[in-house]
Amino acid sequence: MENDLTAFIHGFLLALGLILPLGVQNVFIFNQGALQKNIARTLPAIITAAVCDTLLITLAVLGISVLVLSHLWLKTMMLGLGSLFLLYMGWITWTARPGGSEEAEQSFPLKKQIVFAVSVSLLNPHAIIDTIGVIGASSLGYAGAAKLSFTLACILVSWLWFFGLALAGRTTGELDKTGRWLYALNKASAVIMWGAALYIVLTLAR
């Protein structure tokens, strides 16, 4: 029982440390929280991102993801698609006009939220490295119930974090009635996305 608790705490703190840094996935969820009229409209992005993280963590712990990504052509295809999605998403974010306009509300409808959330989650090299290289490797030190506790803790962090991030974005959106701060945030977010896309291209070129 004590070992299970230790594994849970380890998984929780490890996942929290990995998810905290500002990345494309976090930027997307925060922006959706800020741009949508209420938190309910952000649920497609939140749930999709959390489910994708749950999938990646589960595959990493089971060791399946390592086998899949050992195929060079599959890894190259995933990274290529990821860079294209990030370039497109960066453009959408750059041209968005926050501030309560209808254009801002219609920039990320339900289907587009889901597609973008999947792209920044499953086609994100940083997310894959974190789950496979760190969480997957760390899980090797546990077995049975302890391994399950470790895995559930990592998954729990993702769900709690994305809901909290969207709520923080919604609060920011309500406070920024002029839309100026969100406008600047969109520009910075787009640059981060384009930077991530460039990183992927450079990775493929190596």
Question: Whole-prediction pTM value?
Answer: 0.76
Predicted pLDDT at 162 = 95
What's the pLDDT band for 96 if we cut at 50, 70, 90? low
What does the angle CA 102 – CA 112 – CA 106 come to, to the nearest 5 degrees? Answer: 5
Residue 66 amino acid letter: V
User: Please, are residues 149 and 10 in contact by the beta-carbon 8 Å criterion?
Assistant: no
* Separation CA 26–CA 33 (nearest Å): 11
Answer whether residue 102 shows pLDDT above 70: no
Among 105, 99, 84, which Cα is nearest to 42's? Answer: 105
The one-letter code for the residue type at 12 is: F
Q: What is the CA radius of gyration of the chain?
A: 18
Band (pLDDT 50/70/90 cuts) for residue 69 is: low
| Token output for 111 | 């289907």
Is the pLDDT at 105 greater than 50? The verdict is no
Boundaries of every domain in the chain: 2-205
What pLDDT, in 10s, does the model give residues 110-161? 888 888 888 888 877 777 777 877 888 788 888 888 999 999 999 999 999 9
Q: What is the pLDDT of residue 104?
A: 42
Q: Which of 95, 121, 100 shows the shortest CA–CA distance to 34?
A: 100
In contact, 89 and 20? CB cutoff 8 Å: no
CA distance 174 to 154: 31
